[in-house]
């Protein structure tokens, strides 16, 4: 009989500690090599750890919610039961490398819709496609959701925080720029008419009973339709937010110092805060803005959705913006660069221009802001880029983004139009010199050929490191991005 202790491994990217989020086994359980034993949260992402040993779990050495250093024993496994029962070959345990010497990652299961295909929804949106049956949901009055104070840890049936937009009348609804988290775009209907949401009659009845506007629900069906599970997850998110809103304020009779909620800053939130402070106070930010007539982009997106080549692929205006950013960076290379102080120990700084594009997409996830990036995005066709965006979205939404996926970014896009925001001044992602904010797309009066007509308008905001990107360069880059949104056919040149 041998008692093995499994130490918290180094999961890569130089991380030195992690929090035990949840155990998947208990003392007395039998495990095989590569069975998932727990989930840990690092400063970058949520990671599943597989067991390097086969046997019986003797003891869980660290409680859930506790942060420990790499190399700390977290579980002990007794291999006697496995040997006696013949559940594992004799060479199973010795074959596993010492846990602390190499990173260990569990296999990540793909998110699936009710048809069994990957949902591929934009990242950062409510977690949908799973949950209890719709008939278990009680009838509730229609309420516009309020943002929750602090979300619970995500599970497959728990929605993400604050990502369900307030319901408005269809005639007033702006068309979101649709990044990784959003309601479906209105499909580029330039006439201003809201396109009909796909849903089966029973689903429509459930939505009516619950007072849910189907256009507020992110669909995960194989043909882009809203499913029962989508409604259940949306309602769960809405209920959680409303319930928290009703009980948010503490009792007036209690002293104010007893009505303060203290939330430890750790994991992704801690890493994000540190990175943003370093960026804001090390890189001199300058921001510029440009209004863009995106009507032809909306028409182009509508045609792509109807194309057989893009059947089953989520397509949004973000796809065109991503392609525009890649195209514009090639024409203005210094925006795709890094400022490096004292390279190789020298006393002279240098600008490193990257001749590749690792395009970062800022994603609001249940565990905080993450910026995974699409490696070598410059080599991808429009269809390949759409698939990459969908995969990034699905992984980020599930909280399964790995540390390596967030390293090495060269330029970032953030979709602040997801909740109807026009524009903003984003902070540059550390190690980069430019970031583009994509505002909401909505109909506005626009002067075209001397006539005032309704057009689909968006506002782009860009922040740049003024040590690298001068005003002239930033203006030319933003103008190039805008020109693609105004005329996507330029991408074919």
Domain ranges (residues) in the chain: 3-101, 267-492
Could you tell me if 220 and 212 are in contact, meaning their C-beta atoms sit under 8 angstroms apart? no
pLDDT on residue 232: 79
Nearest residue to 104 (alpha-carbon basis) of 9, 212, 243? 9
Helix, strand or coil, per DSSP, at residue 462: strand
Strand ranges (E), 24-72: 30-31, 36-41, 46-50, 55-60, 67-69
Q: How far apart are CA 417 and CA 54, in angstroms?
A: 49
Strands 434-438, 411-415: pairing is parallel
Give the CA radius of gyration of the chain: 25
Q: How far apart are CA 221 and CA 216, in angstroms?
A: 15
Q: Which CATH number fits domain 267-492: 3.40.50.280, 3.30.70.2660, 3.40.50.300, 3.30.559.10?
A: 3.30.559.10
Q: How far apart are CA 246 and CA 251, in angstroms?
A: 12
Could you tell me if 414 and 439 are in contact, meaning their C-beta atoms sit under 8 angstroms apart? no
pLDDT on residue 98: 39
Q: How far apart are CA 87 and CA 103, in angstroms?
A: 25
Please classify residue 247 by burial: count the beta carbons closer than 10 Å to its beta carbon, then call 0-12 exposed, 13-18 middle and 19+ buried: exposed
Distances in Å between the Cα of 279 and the Cα atoms of 283, 289, 431, 465 are 6, 20, 8, 9
Instruction: Please report how the helices 317-331 and 382-397 are oriented relative to each other, as an axis angle in degrees rounded to 10.
Output: 120
pLDDT on residue 242: 57
Q: Check if 3-101 and 267-492 are the same fold.
A: no
Please classify residue 149 by burial: count the beta carbons closer than 10 Å to its beta carbon, then call 0-12 exposed, 13-18 middle and 19+ buried: middle
Catalytic residues: 466
Q: Is the pTM of this model over 0.85?
A: no
Architecture in CATH for domain 3-101: Beta Barrel (2.40)
Q: Which sign does the torsion angle of CA 482, 486, 489, 493 carry?
A: negative
Distances in Å between the Cα of 354 and the Cα atoms of 132, 432, 480, 491 are 48, 10, 19, 21
pLDDT tens for the chain, residues 1 to 493: 788 899 988 766 556 788 888 899 999 999 999 899 998 887 666 788 899 999 999 999 999 888 888 889 999 999 864 444 444 444 333 333 333 333 333 333 333 333 333 333 333 333 333 343 334 333 333 334 444 444 444 444 434 333 333 333 334 444 443 333 333 333 333 333 334 678 888 788 888 878 888 877 877 777 778 888 788 777 776 665 555 556 667 677 778 777 777 777 776 667 777 777 888 878 889 999 999 999 999 999 999 999 999 998 989 999 999 999 999 999 999 999 999 888 877 778 899 999 999 999 988 776 677 889 999 999 999 999 999 999 998 888 777 788 788 889 999 999 988 778 899 899 999 899 999 999 999 999 999 899 999 999 999 999 999 999 999 999 999 999 999 999 999 887 5
Helix, strand or coil, per DSSP, at residue 29: coil
């Amino acid at each position: 009989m041998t008692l093995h202790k499994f130490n918290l491994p180094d999961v890569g990217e130089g991380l030195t500690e992690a929090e035990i989020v949840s155990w998947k086994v208990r003392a007395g359980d039998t495990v095989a090599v590569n069975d998932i034993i727990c989930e840990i949260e690092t400063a970058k992402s949520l990671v599943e750890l597989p067991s390097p040993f086969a046997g019986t779990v003797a003891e869980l050495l660290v409680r859930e919610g506790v942060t420990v250093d790499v190399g700390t024993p977290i579980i002990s496994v007794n291999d006697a039961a496995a040997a006696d029962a013949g559940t594992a070959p004799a060479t199973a345990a010795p074959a596993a490398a010492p846990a602390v010497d190499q990173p260990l990652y569990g296999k990540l299961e793909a998110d699936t819709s009710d048809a069994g295909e990957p949902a591929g929804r934009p990242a950062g949106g409510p977690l949908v496609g799973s949950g209890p049956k719709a008939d278990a949901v009680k009838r509730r009055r229609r309420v516009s959701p309020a943002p929750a104070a602090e979300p619970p840890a995500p599970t497959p049936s728990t929605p993400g925080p604050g990502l369900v937009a307030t319901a408005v009348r269809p005639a007033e609804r702006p068309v979101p720029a649709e990044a990784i988290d959003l309601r479906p775009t209105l499909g580029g209907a330039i006439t201003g008419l809201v396109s009909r949401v796909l849903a089966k009659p029973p689903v429509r009845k459930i939505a009516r009973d619950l007072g849910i506007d189907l256009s507020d629900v992110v669909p995960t069906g194989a043909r882009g339709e809203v499913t029962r599970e989508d409604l259940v997850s949306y309602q769960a998110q809405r209920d959680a937010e409303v319930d928290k809103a009703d009980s948010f304020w503490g009792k007036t009779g209690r002293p104010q110092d007893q009505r303060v909620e203290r939330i430890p800053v750790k994991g992704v939130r801690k890493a994000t805060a540190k990175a943003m402070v370093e960026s804001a106070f090390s890189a001199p930010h300058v921001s510029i803005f440009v209004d863009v007539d995106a009507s032809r982009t909306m028409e182009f997106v509508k045609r792509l959705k109807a194309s057989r080549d893009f059947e089953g692929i989520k397509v949004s205006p973000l796809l065109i913006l991503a392609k525009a950013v890649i195209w514009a960076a090639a024409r203005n290379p210094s925006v795709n660069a890094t400022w490096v102080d004292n390279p190789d120990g020298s006393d002279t700084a240098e600008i490193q221009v990257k001749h590749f594009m690792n395009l970062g997409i800022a994603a609001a996830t249940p565990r905080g802001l993450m910026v995974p990036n699409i490696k070598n995005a410059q080599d991808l066709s429009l269809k390949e880029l759409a698939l990459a965006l969908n995969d990034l979205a699905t992984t980020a939404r599930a909280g399964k983004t790995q540390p390596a996926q967030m390293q090495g970014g060269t330029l970032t896009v953030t979709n602040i139009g997801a909740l109807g925001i026009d524009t903003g001044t984003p902070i540059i992602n550390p190690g980069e010199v430019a970031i583009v904010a994509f505002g909401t797309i909505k109909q506005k009066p626009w002067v075209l050929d001397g006539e005032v007509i309704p057009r689909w308008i968006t506002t782009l905001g860009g922040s740049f490191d003024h040590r690298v990107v001068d005003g002239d360069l930033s203006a030319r880059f933003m103008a190039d991005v805008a020109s693609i949104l105004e005329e996507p056919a330029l991408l074919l040149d």
